[in-house]
Structure 1
Amino acid sequence: MIDETTEVRQAREDALPLLSPQDLDPLLERIGNARYVLLGEASHGTAEFYRWRAELTKRLIAEHGFSFVAVEGDWPDCHQLHCCVSGVAGVPNDPEQVLWSFGRWPTWMWANQEVVDFARWLREMNKTREQDPPVGFHGLDMYSLWDSLRAILDYLREHHPDEVETAMSAYRCFQPYDEDPQSYATSTSMVPDGCQDEVTALLADLRDRASLSATPGLGPAFVAEQNAAVVVDAERYYREMIHGGPRAWNIRDMHMADTLDRLTEAYGPESKAIVWAHNTHIGDARATDMAEADMLNLGQLVRQRHERDGVVAVGFGTHSGSVIGSPRWGGPVRRVSVPPARQDSTEGLLNEAVPDRDSLFVFEPDAPSAWAERVRGHRAIGVVYDPRRARTGGYVPTVLSARYDAFVHCDRSTALVPLHPWEPEAHGEAETYPSGL
């Protein structure tokens, strides 16, 4: 058995200094011709994770021709940002104005200065692509049930007014719950089918419309169809949440994987995708204890579906610092400390090996170092975060080199900069399973 001192030495030898975007060259070489690059984060509120993801994404777009960025965000809100960075008429010119309008708690996930900076870069980059389609920015998540319903109604009123009644049937079915997912979920314990029939009919109708659309790619019919897919899967998700267990989680990650597939198809056979999401979504679940709980995730599904196309997953972690989080679901935005990681964790090992710096680890596919093949706790911070409990909880047992193809360690990290100095009320939004990830 390898002792800890040997593992620390191995990790130190494997660590590549990460000081500038040029230091990402070994990772870009590892990515090569891969079609899917999945970029994680150990928390939703850490500036360094967002910045390094943005720097790598810029290089993938500029040097490797990647087609779009898909994030752990709502489809309707992110579509507005997509229109902004694509230069669509009638949409605000400044991404900050669009991001400011993001209203679902927690707004800081996307309404923050780090995303503003990247989105402004992307808008300027798209201005130079005169002969090529713009690089997109899209949401993979499915919490926008009511916003998506309203977007569908707007689309049908403009393009197919004779079909509005199908959407209104679904809207009326959800109306008694006053946009409260918990209320709807509870009601399905008495009426198990809930609004399932109405949303299924809505999706079928919009898929027929999309197949007949003369506008290729991401035209209005595609956007409306995706909103309908959100409504269908969100309804299933809330129906399952009342029962507990992993099925709601699996519905959510399968929705994200299906949305990613629809996007790559819409962008064409040569398209390439970048994903931004929490480590718990992009790191392969089979390399963690999630598999024992019958949970799958986006990273696992993308690897299983698209291994031949090339998939590279990059995890992120931090030893200590600060983060944006909330003391409870729907609570206020606050900057809180991240205490030093447990010594027996991945982050504890890497702090001992390469303290006080950002480092990059690129794992050899066939022969990763022994330290990266050992099961260790790997820190995961949700939007609800209490540092007082961080020493005993919030660690996912992980084989690092199996969960990711590369890893970015930010030894001491800082909180990102939210655009909003306050947070809107959560409007009854149900907490994500297992804990705000």
Structure 2
Amino acid sequence: MHTAATPFLAVRELARRLDENDGDFDELLEMAKGRQFVLLGEATHGTQDFYRMRAQITRRLITEGGFDAVGIEGDWPDAWRVNRFVQGEGDDDAHAALGDFERFPTWMWRNREMLDFITWLRAHNAGLSSEARVGVYGLDLYSMYRSADAVIRYLEQVDPEQAAMARQRYAALDHVREPQAYGYAAALGARPDAREGVVDQLLQLRADALTYLTRDGLAAFDAQFFAQQNAEVVVHAENYYRSMFGRRFNTWNLRDAHMHRTLLALSRYRLQRSGQGRIVVWAHNSHIGDARSTESNLRGEWNLGELMRESVGSKALLVGFTTFTGHVSAASQWDGDVEHKWVRPALHDSYEYLFHSTGLDRFFLPLVGPGAEPLREPMLERAIGVIYLPQSERESHYFGASLANQFDALFHLDETSAVEPLDTPHHWHHREEPEQTA
């Protein structure tokens, strides 16, 4: 295959159109052979097609590729309830298992596609031994108070004296139980910060781990790991919220460094459970694409994809997802109601517009080898998170990127649909329609 002269020709030469069946993912499954981590992105936090395709790919990675865990861009204790459900533990049904995702944006994980996936995973796990069952875990760090409470509850069961000590160590967090208010007061010195106490608590849990593992076999091992990771969350979340107001460190970096540490810890944990330690990650493109190839690198920001490439090299496969237009579930402001928004057609100097211009519609695009060289050329790329602001489209949702350096492969869908929240407000059904042009 010769090296294409332009990005347009490179896409036309390398892309494989999708047939809307499981065979669409054969080439990706081949690329995933021998990998320890497959990171599956999304260009928005509210596109049905991205959730559905990630679920289809993940089912095949589990059943054919030996992957035994799914890490999501969600909070650790919230996802642990889902994990218990898919392991066949507790009394939850699938709806109830998603019930701890109460923090904005609830639709990010409380949606139809996630419901269907965890229902399938529970049925899949039912035929496996406890050690072999696939788990679902949260990689994020926003759950400072819920994680602190979980540590205390665990210690109340295994070590009441240490539970009392944990309450004392976490007391400095508790004056309002609102993490940003804590961070603001601690950064200003308006009250003592909790950093020393939360670190001491994590170290204590690590030191006492073997003592707590003398009972109940695998169940005790799982419970201890859950508690220890909650203690990790408290340490990193305390630092994150305090740093929001301290002007000393980029909080984005703190968050993605936490995701990186959690992901590696999960792999070790799954291996210790006699599993494969092979993990599929569901997160936004902005987390899983290599930040060194985007303009965020100029701001001194790194991300999970970059850290994984640095730490495990080719054992990590980074896969992006893009769209040209369609609809998305997103809010207009932080903590706002979810809306059914129209995604404006991509800007002309973007990768998404380039993909649209090829006429291929929906396709898989490998980004390795000499044929992908023209796709290292920097262009704009769109990112829609939980907020979509079309009135400031260019400033709010585009950044410069070198695509073939950012990802190993990519799925492009020319037109996409909005993910349907489980808790659908009445106004969501009145979707925003495309503007009519003369």
- The question of a shared fold, defined as TM-score above 0.5 by the shorter chain, is answered with yes
Taking the aligned partners of 2:359 and 2:291, their CA distance within structure 1 comes to: 27
- Superposition deviation, residue 5 in structure 1: 9.6
Residue of structure 2 aligned with 1:358, choices 348, 356, 362: 362
Fraction of identical pairs, as percent? 37
> How many residues are paired up?
414
Residue of structure 1 aligned with 2:339, choices 331, 334, 337: 334
Taking the aligned partners of 2:165 and 2:425, their CA distance within structure 1 comes to: 38
- Which SS does the other structure have where 1:104 is aligned? coil
Q: Is the Cα contact below 8 Å between 2:141 and 2:258 reproduced in 1? A: yes
TM-score normalised to structure 1 length: 0.91
- Superposition deviation, residue 179 in structure 1: 2.0
Query: Is 1:238 matched up with 2:238?
Result: no
- Superposition deviation, residue 8 in structure 1: 2.0
Query: Is 1:302 matched up with 2:308?
Result: yes
Summarize the alignment of residues 116-195 of structure 1 with structure 2, pairs less than 5 Å apart.
Answer: 116-130=115-129, 132-176=131-175, 178-191=176-189, 194-195=193-194
CA deviation profile, 1:235-275 (whole Å, cap 9, x unmatched): 00011111347621111111111011111111117321111
- Which SS does the other structure have where 1:354 is aligned? coil
- Partner residue in 2 for 1:432: none
Question: In the alignment, residue 288 of structure 1 is paired with which amino acid?
Answer: T
- Cα 1:160–1:186 change in 2 (3 A) is same
Summarize the alignment of residues 32-431 of structure 1 with structure 2, pairs less than 5 Å apart.
Answer: 32-88=33-89, 90-92=90-92, 94-130=93-129, 132-176=131-175, 178-191=176-189, 194-212=193-211, 213-214=213-214, 215=217, 218-244=221-247, 247-268=250-271, 270-307=276-313, 310-355=315-360, 357-364=361-368, 366-422=369-425
- Superposition deviation, residue 422 in structure 1: 4.7
- Cα 1:245–1:115 change in 2 (3 A) is farther
Q: Is the Cα contact below 8 Å between 1:372 and 1:399 reproduced in 2? A: yes
- Structure 1: where are the runs of 5+ without partners? 424-437
- Superposition deviation, residue 209 in structure 1: 2.4
TM-score normalised to structure 2 length: 0.90
- Superposition deviation, residue 392 in structure 1: 4.3
Q: Is the Cα contact below 8 Å between 1:80 and 1:91 reproduced in 2? A: no
Root-mean-square deviation (CA), in Å? 1.9
- Cα 1:266–1:82 change in 2 (3 A) is same
- Which SS does the other structure have where 2:370 is aligned? coil
- Cα 1:258–1:211 change in 2 (3 A) is farther
Which shifted more, 247-256 or 126-135? 126-135
CA deviation profile, 1:350-379 (whole Å, cap 9, x unmatched): 000135x32110122x42424311101110
Taking the aligned partners of 1:175 and 1:248, their CA distance within structure 2 comes to: 22
Q: Is the Cα contact below 8 Å between 2:172 and 2:192 reproduced in 1? A: no
Which shifted more, 48-57 or 212-221? 212-221
Taking the aligned partners of 2:400 and 2:236, their CA distance within structure 1 comes to: 29
- Which SS does the other structure have where 1:421 is aligned? coil
- Cα 1:416–1:218 change in 2 (3 A) is farther
Q: Is the Cα contact below 8 Å between 1:206 and 1:225 reproduced in 2? A: yes
- Which SS does the other structure have where 1:111 is aligned? coil
Q: Is the Cα contact below 8 Å between 1:288 and 1:398 reproduced in 2? A: yes
Question: In the alignment, residue 10 of structure 2 is paired with which amino acid?
Answer: Q
- Superposition deviation, residue 79 in structure 1: 0.3
Taking the aligned partners of 1:422 and 1:166, their CA distance within structure 2 comes to: 43
- Superposition deviation, residue 304 in structure 1: 0.9
Taking the aligned partners of 1:416 and 1:225, their CA distance within structure 2 comes to: 33
